[in-house]
Structure 1
Amino acid sequence: MKKDRLLAKWLNNDLSKDELAAFEASPDFEKYQKIKNYTDHLELDNPDENAMLANILKQKKAAPKTVPLYKKWAFQAAAVLVLALGIAFALKFSVSQTETADFGKKTTFSLPDNSEVVLNSGSEINYKKWNWNNSRHLKLQGEAYFRVSKGRKFEVQTRLGKVTVLGTQFNVKARKNRFDVVCYEGRVQVNYANTQILLTHGQSVSFQNGKQIKMKVNSLKPEWIDNQICFYQENIRSLLDEVERQYNITIELNTKDTISLFTGKLPAKDLNTALQIISTTYHLEAKKVSENKIIFDEK
């Protein structure tokens, strides 16, 4: 009640200097001062200051709404969970997906539109799931066979060139300076440097070191899917590179690279036969110095 007496004395200007200083330092002084300033302008007959004080003190302050601490914690936890799920969802579909085929292996997988891809040994594909049906675009390193579902434009980007289709079956190979595209069904548009070529069923195109070379299509699908390594006018180093990928081995060539170009097939599941064909063709002798290393010497 001491506070009430101080307020009454303040209204009557009966506070001492010490009491006035303490009262003005109180947290409610500003509120009382506003009330007093307002009432000083009112014209009342015989104002009853004591009654006014009683009415002020009777007024109840509105109780502030409070939220239990455990509820605040629950709300914050739920918000964090929703945010985390949103970030995880965005990352899953916006970050590039990578499919690889290690040396000595092949990988088959489906894209979001159910298009099928077969990756040859030592190859890699990158793409994004997000908005795939409206932007069917992927990057290829190596060689892959595609069975594309019908839909919007489908693009395969390589460092050597780009292939664009709608719905078809085709093979793309981009190794070093060699770029091969074969169309097995539908139509394929090939962009290489400043050249644009339209391929239809059974047609193909090849570029070697920036020059276009002719290549024939003799099958209904890529031979490598059936474990046959097919070459068309390939030099011996490119041939050996492909054998290394298919068998996951290392080959050392102790002879000058011959200028003779190889056209033919090698088995992808019979290393001894493949080595014998290479030795006979280039007059070399193959030595297996370890489980995963072959050396070719001149005879």
Structure 2
Amino acid sequence: MKKNDLLARWLNDDLLEKELAEFEASPDFEKYQKIKNYTAHLEVDDFDENAMLSNILQQKKRTPRVVPLYKKWMLRVAAIFVLALGVTFVMKNFVPETQTSNFGERTTFLLPDNSEVVLNSGSEISYKKWNWDNNRHLELEGEAYFRVSKGRRFVVQTNLGEVAVLGTQFNVRARKNRFDVICYEGRVKVNYASRQIILTHGQSVTFENGKQFNTRVKSVRPEWMNNQICFNKENIKSLLDEVQRQYNITIELNSKDTTSLFTGKLPTKNLKVALQIISTTYHLEAKKVSENKIIFDEK
């Protein structure tokens, strides 16, 4: 306390001559002198007591705005809800929609314009709902039957070719290197490599390894929708691939003859009959080695 009093008196130049001499001889004097020199230029405004009192009274009159805790909670919930709606909207409209049909299954669904699609086993379709009426475009892997509602151009894109229509019924199959299109109603435009073909009711076209085959069909819809697989000049490997998809089984072939072409029908709901037809046609013997595996050996 005595030291603080001495320091205060020194700052106010109130020390006696003897006290000043003793203070200047102290080890802390040099430090105090520097502080005094640095602060000498500082100026403090005159203190207005009335102005400060008036400011305090005005602040007291202002009622602070308090947001109840439940309102804060509701605002937070509303923000989360709006965000969730935004994410849902983006997911439903901008992110591609995908429909699949696993082996041994068949999937039927409607597009945004009520066009009907039936996916055959082991197939997939993807499309975007956003602006669908003006851009009816989808991508197909495998096989599907389409009953298209009238409207703008409808495009089915595959890795082998493209099919474009306005409103019709048709079937598209793209398996490995074989591309089949059948028109059941109306007209369809098929693009394959640099070739473009127009199909009308009852006409069919097949592309395989660069070769083109044109045929006519009498049925009003795909045979596979009537639980039959229809083959037109297909080799045994393609035939067995389709049987595996339809029945969700594995087939092993031990035969030298893999080039003979098959034209005919196989059932999709009776595996025993299907195996008998294949065995008779290719002179093979079918052996069921497990619940889901068949081996064909030469007789």
Partner of 1:58: 54
- For residue 68 of structure 1, what is the amino acid of its counterpart? V
Structure 2: distance between partners of 1:294 and 1:180: 28
State the SS of the aligned residue for 1:215: strand
Structure 2: distance between partners of 1:215 and 1:294: 33
Partner of 1:269: 269
- For residue 54 of structure 1, what is the amino acid of its counterpart? N
Structure 1 residues without counterparts, runs of 5 or longer = 1-15, 18-29, 37-48
- For residue 66 of structure 1, what is the amino acid of its counterpart? R
Matched, 1:188 2:184: no
- For residue 57 of structure 1, what is the amino acid of its counterpart? L
Q: Is the 8 A contact 1:171 1:182 kept in 2?
A: yes
Instruction: With the length of structure 1 as denominator, give the TM-score of the two structures.
Output: 0.79
Q: Is the 8 A contact 2:180 2:206 kept in 1?
A: yes
How far 1:85 moved relative to its partner? 1.7
Greater Rg, structure 1 or structure 2?
2
Structure 2: distance between partners of 1:241 and 1:55: 95
1:30-69 correspondence runs (5 A)? 33=45, 54=50, 57-59=53-55, 60-61=58-59, 63=62, 66-68=65-67
Give CA deviations for 1:42-85 in whole Å, capped at 9, x if unaligned.
xxxxxxx9xx8536633524737524252344323322221122
Give CA deviations for 1:152-185 in whole Å, capped at 9, x if unaligned.
1111111111111111000000001000001111
State the SS of the aligned residue for 1:274: helix
Q: Is the 8 A contact 2:237 2:258 kept in 1?
A: no
Structure 1: distance between partners of 2:94 and 2:227: 35
Note the aligned Cα RMSD (angstroms): 2.5
- For residue 202 of structure 1, what is the amino acid of its counterpart? G
How many residues get paired?
258
Partner of 2:228: 228
- For residue 200 of structure 1, what is the amino acid of its counterpart? T
Matched, 1:205 2:201: no
Matched, 1:278 2:278: yes
Give CA deviations for 1:260-299 in whole Å, capped at 9, x if unaligned.
1111111111211111111111111111122211111111
Q: Please say which of residues 241-250 and 52-61 is displaced more in the overlay.
A: 52-61
- For residue 54 of structure 2, what is the amino acid of its counterpart? K
1:96-245 correspondence runs (5 A)? 96-245=96-245
Q: Is the 8 A contact 1:168 1:186 kept in 2?
A: yes
Structure 2: distance between partners of 1:64 and 1:213: 87
Structure 2: distance between partners of 1:55 and 1:292: 95
- For residue 67 of structure 2, what is the amino acid of its counterpart? P
- For residue 266 of structure 2, what is the amino acid of its counterpart? L
Instruction: With the length of structure 2 as denominator, give the TM-score of the two structures.
Output: 0.79
State the SS of the aligned residue for 2:190: strand
